[in-house]
Amino acid sequence: MTDAAPTRLDRRKARTRAALVRAAQTFIAEGRTNTAILDLTQAADVGMGSFYNHFSSKDELFRAAVEDALDRHGAALDELTRDMTDPAEVFACSFRLTGRLHRRRPQLSKVLINTGLSIATSEHGIAPRVRRDIQAGIRTGRFTVADPELAFTIAAGTALCLGQLLHTQPDRDDAQATDQITEDLLRTFGIPTDEAHRISRRPLPDLDRLLPDAIA
Amino acid sequence: MTDAAPTRLDRRKARTRAALVRAAQTFIAEGRTNTAILDLTQAADVGMGSFYNHFSSKDELFRAAVEDALDRHGAALDELTRDMTDPAEVFACSFRLTGRLHRRRPQLSKVLINTGLSIATSEHGIAPRVRRDIQAGIRTGRFTVADPELAFTIAAGTALCLGQLLHTQPDRDDAQATDQITEDLLRTFGIPTDEAHRISRRPLPDLDRLLPDAIA
DNA sequence: TCCTTTTCTGACGATTTCGTCAGTTATGGA
DNA sequence: TCCATAACTGACGAAATCGTCAGAAAAGGA
């Protein structure tokens, strides 16, 4: 309950913390996770000593950086699918937007990819939302799957590997590939072929509508 | 063409190199990839100076360690599927054996998982074989997929995420989960439901038949 | 304005890690 | 057996990294 009006001091503190988190994200995206703390603070344009005002170890900073990226993307998905009621459509829309993310927000995308499979077990970001959507789809009879956790495994692994593919093959049409895979997943989850195709080609809300301060 | 009979000196050299690679694999499996070189050589029971006889940096050793793990597993799969002719069965068998691997060879499994998505683009190990099987399946008309590379993406991502799941949920029946997912993938690749089920439940060759010196 | 509190800062000693190298041990050949 | 060569070894100086701390700067309050 400590939410007294954020004072200017609070904002200053938050700014330097955010600068560190941003810097950490660029390093993670570049795969350089064993950098010296001094490098991080310099990239953040912050004094070396400031680091320990906010984090007690590099690991702690990196964890915070990943959480931040996951939470931002999760919040964006929530916002963009707010009006949808059909779980199949929510799932499809989230998956398709995430697929588009890899090119539009390469740094965020690479944070996810380089963080690897552990984000599939994270309490933050996309994983809990996908689980929720799959559960909802099963409850309402939209999805027919033997085991929701296995369905989640297929969706999560595919989403990550798709990101990898889109970075490896920069000439490939990302929207086309993402939508095709979305259709395949919907079929796997028991949606009839023609409907799976339709759902995975519906117009999408605009990612850019959000995230004015999104990381690249 | 330099394959003159390996002398005893060669064997000694190979032994210490192998010891380093094994040690590196245990560290990778534990997620401790920023260990000091001294720690690695001690774990390998090898003199500190020996390290630089074989590798010029930690990265180089870790790369070699991953390659080694991938090559071992790839060779095992080749051996175990040697007699099969149906691409769908080769694919299914490889996938199912890899699924069983996570519990039977936890260290190898964790090397793969912790290495992350980059193994999907590696020239070593499973990735090229899965690509080959999918291509063969398409050529012979067994598989019906829009894009082989997308099919590969689904299979690879799912395989990795499945490994993660099997480690996260140690009580889950690994064979059952793996076979179920194999069936889902076969259906995604256009195999009819009943046949997909049959193929993914066929008796498997025994993993233990091989790899007397396999890493745990 | 002046004092208190909070955060920021970079220099510094302590510690860790690196990579080399001179000496040792194992191997192969004469 | 004895020498030449290749591989192994650990100690050591050099370099990088860490975490602290005393003082500076900013913010808040009176």
Among A165, A184, A122, A133, which Cα is nearest to B145's?
A: A184
Nearest nucleotide over every DNA/RNA strand to the A8 CA, judged by C1': D27
Res B187 pLDDT > 90 = yes
- The alpha-helical segments, DSSP class H, found in chain B are 8-29, 37-43, 51-54, 58-80, 87-104, 106-115, 126-139, 148-168, 174-188, 193-199
How far apart (Å, rounded) are the C-alpha atoms in residues A208 and A205? 9
A166 touches chain B (CB under 8 A): no
pLDDT-based confidence at residue B5 (cuts at 50, 70, 90): confident
Query: pLDDT for B59-94, tens place per residue?
Result: 999 999 999 999 999 999 999 999 999 999 999 999
Share of chain A above pLDDT 70, in %: 95
pLDDT-based confidence at residue A208 (cuts at 50, 70, 90): confident
Enter the tokens of residue A54: 């906010």
A157 touches chain B (CB under 8 A): yes
B188 touches chain A (CB under 8 A): yes
Enter the tokens of residue A8: 């200017």
A116 touches chain B (CB under 8 A): yes
How far apart (Å, rounded) are the C-alpha atoms in residues A168 and B122? 12
How many CB atoms neighbour CB A31 within 10 A?
11
If one looks up domain B65-204 in CATH, what number appears? Answer: 1.10.357.10
Beta-carbon-side half-sphere exposure of residue A93 (alpha carbons within 13 Å): 24
pTM (predicted TM-score):
0.94
Name B188's Cβ contacts closer than 8 Å, sequence gap at least 6: A184, A187, A188, B145, B151, B154
Chain B residue with minimal CA distance to A162?
Answer: B153
A58 touches strand C (CB under 7 A): no
How far apart (Å, rounded) are the C-alpha atoms in residues A181 and B189? 12
The nucleotides of chain C lying under 7 Å from a protein CB are 6-12, 16-22, 26-29
Among B158, B176, B180, B186, most A C-beta atoms within 10 A, so best to mutate, is: B158
The nucleotides of chain D lying under 7 Å from a protein CB are 6-12, 16-22, 26-29
DSSP string covering B151-213: HHHHHHHHHHHHHHHHHH-TTS-HHHHHHHHHHHHHHHTT--HHHHHHHTTS----GGGS-TT
Res A213 pLDDT > 60 = no
Res B20 pLDDT > 90 = yes
User: Which residue is closest to D5 in terms of CA–C1' distance?
Assistant: B9
Query: pLDDT for A31-80, tens place per residue?
Result: 999 999 999 999 999 999 999 999 999 999 999 999 999 999 999 999 99
Nearest nucleotide over every DNA/RNA strand to the A40 CA, judged by C1': D17
**A170-173 CB contacts, 8 Å cutoff, 24+ apart:** none
CATH topology of domain A7-56: Arc Repressor Mutant, subunit A (1.10.10)
Each domain of chain A, given as residue ranges in start order, spans 7-56, 65-204
Specify the length of chain B in residues.
216
A158 with B159: Cβ contact below 8 A = no
pLDDT reported for residue A206: 83
Q: Chain B neighbours among A 40-79 (CB < 8 Å)?
A: none
Share of chain A above pLDDT 90, in %: 91
B181 touches chain A (CB under 8 A): yes
Q: What mean pLDDT is predicted for residues A185-191?
A: 98
B131 touches chain A (CB under 8 A): no
B117 with A149: Cβ contact below 8 A = no
